[in-house]
Amino acid sequence: MIISNKLVYGTGVKGKLYRATENGKNSRVYSLWVSMLKRCTQKYRSKHPTYIGVTCSENFKSYSFFYEWCQEQTGFNSIDGHGKSWCLDKDILVRGNKLYSEDVCVFVPQRINNLLIKRDASRGDWPVGVFWDKKRGVFKAQSRDGNSKKNI
């Protein structure tokens, strides 16, 4: 294994304690860590405005810390009924949270995470699940079951 001192996304320190690959592929925890760091970059935020202001804690910038933290979390190794791994979420515990950290992040089933995704561009400033139907001139409520594109 080649160890590099290069920062991951300009901020993350990989370190030497834990392997980033398993069987020639990035490990799940390493992929989660890299994805989290990516969502904290200016380039990502410019394409995804809901991530403007999103950062991660100093502890989460360390792959070793993040690796150990994940191992202790409920849901980290969980798989839902459709074979999907649970998702790392930063804002279920604290609404509007912009910091990935050990104090507020949790693992949740993808289905639950999808139900709570905020889509400001299409729904305005109303609560999640509520939107203004321009055609009919009324408010509507909707949700998805997390497994399909059908509204329930």
pTM exceeds 0.85 for this model = no
Alpha carbon separation from 1 to 32, 49, 63, 127 (Å, rounded): 20, 37, 16, 48
Strand-strand pairing, 138-141 and 99-100: unpaired
Dump strand ranges (E) for the chain: 21-22, 25-26, 55-56, 87-89, 99-100, 106-108, 130-133, 138-141
Measured between its terminal Cα atoms, the distance across the chain in Å is: 48
Q: What mean pLDDT is predicted for residues 30-44? A: 97
Per-residue confidence (pLDDT) for residue 125, from 0 to 100? 54
Domain boundaries, the chain: 118-152
* Cβ-contact 88, 107 below 8 angstroms: yes
Per-residue confidence (pLDDT) for residue 43, from 0 to 100? 95
pLDDT score of 144 more than 80: no
Per-residue confidence (pLDDT) for residue 126, from 0 to 100? 53
Residue of higher predicted confidence among 17 and 37:
37
How far is 138 from 106, CA to CA, in rounded Å?
A: 35
Which of 2-6, 47-51, 146-150 is predicted least confidently?
146-150
CA Rg, the chain, in Å? 18
Per-residue confidence (pLDDT) for residue 133, from 0 to 100? 79
Per-residue confidence (pLDDT) for residue 95, from 0 to 100? 84
Amino acid code (one letter) for 97: N
Per-residue confidence (pLDDT) for residue 110, from 0 to 100? 86
How far is 131 from 57, CA to CA, in rounded Å?
A: 33
- All residues at 6 or more sequence positions from 117 whose CB lies less than 8 Å from its CB, including other chains: 128
User: pLDDT band for position 122 (50/70/90)?
Assistant: very low
Per-residue confidence (pLDDT) for residue 138, from 0 to 100? 84
